[in-house]
């Protein structure tokens, strides 16, 4: 079962790649919500 993105790990990876952490901290929760919604819609029992 997928429960979400490990935001701490994602931000550490982003920092190692030199990405803007403030921007990612704002965007990752929305991206995570979309990812989880998409996964939920793929489940056979999704209403």
Structure tokens, 19:
């990405």
At residue 7, the pLDDT reads 87
At residue 47, the pLDDT reads 62
Secondary structure of the chain in the HEC alphabet?
Answer: CCCCCCHHHHHHHHHHHCCCHHHHHHHHHHHHHHHHHHHHHHCCCCC
At residue 9, the pLDDT reads 94
5, 23, 30, 31, 38 from 26: Cα distances, Å: 14, 5, 8, 10, 20
pTM attached to this predicted model? 0.70
Tell me the per-residue pLDDT of 1-47, one tens digit each, with 9 for 90 and over.
Answer: 668 889 899 999 999 999 999 999 999 999 999 998 998 898 888 66
């Amino acid at each position: 079962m997928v429960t979400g993105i490990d935001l701490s790990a994602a931000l550490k990876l982003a920092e190692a790649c030199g990405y803007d952490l403030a921007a990612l901290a704002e965007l990752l929760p929305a991206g995570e919500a979309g990812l989880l919604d998409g996964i939920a819609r793929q489940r056979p029992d999704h209403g």
